[in-house]
Amino acid sequence: MPSANSKPTAVDRSLETTAAGISWVTFARCRGQFVDRWPRVFDIPLCRDHHALLTGQDLALKSLLDVGATDRVHEPKVRAAFPGIDYRSFDIDRTNKHDYHDFADIDRQFDAVTLFEVLEHLPPKTAIELMGQCFRACRIGGWFLASVPNVCTPGVQEEWTHISTISYLDLAGLTAWAGFDVVAMGRVYYGGWRHRLVHTKLLHPLHRLLGVDYAQSIVVLARKP
């Protein structure tokens, strides 16, 4: 029992400095390492779809875990890009049939793990936990591909199920914090070629001047060391 003259022990509350339960100083370092690489969102190149950064690596993937797979909408593209791949889907929504509904049921690791448009639907602490689960599900040397809405583009965050606002630097920092090595980032534009041409050629200087983007999603490609 402490004496009457003893001073109370200082409590370390470092992990309370962000809503995610991680030190802001720690996360700022993870985030800050990408500022020189991508000073502005327009320094991130456009890519044709969410999988382009992965398929562009010319990989012979044998297995892939699609986290937050909804109705397995990405399965056809994955199978077309990687013939014979062992595609497995994960989603907590049991209205669709999936291979996994709980990470506790996953007893293996995969060559690649994808996480498309999921993190923004989660509170920060849950998003942190999910990134850790994705890291553990990825084999050493395996690939991680994740995307979030591009908050620099008007309207993309205006959806009532979106809980967290995640910038491109936040996504890169969060990926690095989870333990992955960030390889590349891309901006995904969903519009047709005519609209794409107008934005990328005619209106691009105005977009840069105003800081208003036209690509709807940000995608990060990383590898597990």
Every domain of the chain and the residues it spans: 18-223
CA-CA distance, 199 to 193, in Å (whole number)? 10
pTM: 0.90
The 10 Å Cβ neighbour count of residue 175 is: 26
- pLDDT bracket for residue 3 (50, 70, 90): low
pLDDT of residue 7: 66
Strands of the sheet with 63-67, listed across from one edge: 46-47, 181-188, 217-223, 138-149, 110-116, 63-67, 86-90
Q: Which amino acid is at 202?
A: L
% residues pLDDT > 70 (the chain): 96
Residues 13-24: what's their mean pLDDT?
82
Q: Over the chain, what is the mean pLDDT? A: 91
pLDDT in tens, 204-220: 788 788 888 999 999 99
Residue range 140-152, pLDDT digits in tens: 999 999 999 999 9
Fold of 18-223: Rossmann fold (3.40.50)
Q: Is the pLDDT of residue 1 over 60?
A: no
Beta bridge mates, 89: 66
Q: Is a pLDDT exceeding 60 seen at residue 2?
A: no
